[in-house]
Chains A and B, each alone.
Chain A
Amino acid sequence: MGRLLTLGILGALSCGALATPAWAQTGSITGTITTTATGLAPVRVTIDQKVCGNELPDHAVVVDAQGRLANAVVVLVGVKGAAAAEATITNDQCAFAPRVQIMRPNGNVKTTSNDPVLHTTNAQLANGRTLFNVALPIPGLTITKPIGAAGTVRLGCNTHPWMRGWVIVTDQAAAVTGADGRFTIDHVPPGTYELRIWHESLKSAPRKITVTAGPPADLSITMK
């Protein structure tokens, strides 16, 4: 009886040692998004110059000297994502920070202000329908609103019309490019997927990519 028990334990240990953890069977995608577009001229500020300054950079296109594009969103269709359930929007020096972010559906959006002027956070869908429009008359106030399964949400401010922000609400795996144009999506099961690329003012066609359990392929994507 004791011998059988010992064999059983050894068998269980050897099976455990040979099994590959689920996370080790996944792959990653990474890459750089570039553009031939150039940065935009600064925006002339017409009100609240004491807080906002006389002009502000237009972050509709943020691109570095090598053409690497920030604030683009890559979405891997068919892979469940792990985006945050909450997004925080900060009205800071008359701009939304961050300009672009992703979050899961049915979470909350928190909006706050650092500026001593009236801001509004007006969240609209692509069809123009307003999800909410809340006033932030004083700095430090934080207002929380549910977002539902909105999709692409455009943020605006009705007192500072140049202000623009975006919340991409998706349950798919997604990433936002940083200032160096880079993005990474980890923990992708091997397979072939559609990769969609979104940017507020540039476009790029969706593409098929194959993910393996090996080292990630380094993608190079150009937006126009």
Chain B
Amino acid sequence: MILFVLAAVLAVSSPALANQQPGAGAPTTIPEMWGAWCARCHADDGSGKVKEPTITVEPMDFTDCRVTSPEPDADWERAIAKGGPGVGLSSEMPAFEDSLSPEQISGFVAHMRGFCKEAGWPSGNNNFPRPLITGKAFPENEFVLVPAVSHESEPHSASATDVSLVAVYERRVGRRFMYEVAVPFYNWDFQTERDSEIGDVAVAVKYAAYASSTTPRIVSFGVEATLPTGQLYKEFGKGTVVFEPFVAAGTMLSGWYVQAAGKVELPVDTRVDRAYLYNLYLGRDTSAAPNTWTLGVELNGENRELWITPQVRKGLTGTGALAASLGVSIPVKYRGEKVVSWVGYLLWEYLEPFRAAR
């Protein structure tokens, strides 16, 4: 609300507009400018529904909080400054960077955020790029494929290549909840032959308990339950239900994404050992585009073992709704016993526009 009021009183201050003498009735505040310019296509209420559209692509409905809340301000600002193609959307949205100041563009974003009338949706400024291993705090609507390949070569036995693929479906429920289903597939060397099996299927719920609307800062809690669907004797599963309470958090420091997650594995069968997992991610975008390259590194710990995972992520479409990441997990401790793993993901934000409509 404060942002909205600030936006409303923002005066014409861009270099381009400062030299102009607004005529009688010319818009001078952000809401007036919205009404005079943006409402032509986006409507006064931001719904995108106008009586006589002059464009062929229907704009997003900004009153739909599911649409307005998940993306960071930077993406909205870029869309206004660079036009639709700047964020992989329609070229019918023109660029305003030559006619509006950065402050005015920020004012427009605050005005647009106000079209969502429901409180409690976590700000998209807390929606950071997904790390390879560290759990993400922001609730998502995503389908993710996570392949991993590791190769073990020991002097006293044949070499072995293990391949896994985890299919993850995530769905937001309401404003702050999310549930997730993960199905792992394994293709491992078992004794003398290769074997392919489904592993332990996992279901999880997550709740964004705290998400700042001003400073990027988010904390989520959740619990995952791993079901014994994988065969224990082939090491495709743990043979017992495992409850895994977890916490995930994220913030930004000087343009760096900082994400952390911790999890405890609590097997119902007490003969199976507990495990403590902890992860820390540090990453940075190389540009402001939604499909930019993001460089990052993770520290991934399980009990007394530790890996370091440098990685790179890239949006595959202009909107970033399809993205891929690749990294390598290198053991920091017990190097002689642990193997290097190549890890990646292919991610699809299935409710986001895949690419620009013409």
Contacts and interface: CB of A to CB of B under 8 A. Distances in A.
28 contacts: A118-B36, A118-B40, A120-B94, A121-B94, A122-B92, A128-B358, A130-B85, A130-B91, A133-B83, A133-B84, A133-B85, A133-B91, A133-B92, A133-B94, A135-B37, A135-B95, A136-B99, A137-B99, A137-B100, A138-B99, A140-B19, A140-B20, A141-B16, A143-B98, A158-B54, A159-B41, A159-B54, A161-B55
Contact of B99 (A122, A135, A161): A135
Nearest to B12: A138
Nearest to A121: B94
Contacts of A134: 83, 94-95, 98-99
A158 B41 contact: yes
Nearest to A128: B358
Contacts of A158: 41, 54-55, 92-94
B115 interface: no
Contact of A137 (B19, B37, B54, B83): B37
A54 B352 CA distance: 40
Contact of A116 (B17, B23, B92, B98): B23
A117 B92 CA distance: 17
- The secondary-structure label for the interface of chain B is loop
Nearest to B80: A135
Given A47-B52, A135-B94, A141-B17, 13 more contacts: A116-B26, A132-B95, A133-B84, A133-B85, A133-B93, A135-B95, A138-B17, A141-B98, A141-B99, A143-B98, A158-B54, A158-B92, A159-B40
Interface in B17-33: 17, 19-20, 22-23, 26, 33
A160 interface: yes
Nearest to A145: B98
Interface string B31-75: 001001100110000000000101100000000000000000000
Nearest to B91: A130
A159 B52 CA distance: 11
Q: Which 8 A-B residue pairs are closest in the complex by CB-CB distance? A: A130-B91, A120-B94, A135-B94, A118-B37, A133-B94, A143-B98, A135-B96, A46-B52
Contact of A160 (B20, B54, B91, B98): B54
Interface of B: 16-17, 19-20, 22-23, 26, 33, 36-37, 40-41, 52, 54-55, 83-85, 91-96, 98-100, 358
A124 B90 CA distance: 13
- The secondary-structure label for the interface of chain A is loop
Q: Max chain A CB contacts within 10 Å: which of B41, B94, B99? A: B94
Interface in A74-129: 116-118, 120-122, 124, 128
A140 B100 CA distance: 14
Contacts of B17: 138, 141
A158 B94 CA distance: 8
A141 B20 CA distance: 8
Contacts of A118: 36-37, 40
Nearest to B356: A130
A124 B92 CA distance: 11
A175 B330 CA distance: 67
A212 B92 CA distance: 48
Interface string A152-174: 00000011110000000000000
Contacts of A122: 91-92, 94
A130 B318 CA distance: 15
A185 B218 CA distance: 68
Nearest to B85: A130
Contacts of B98: 134-135, 141, 143
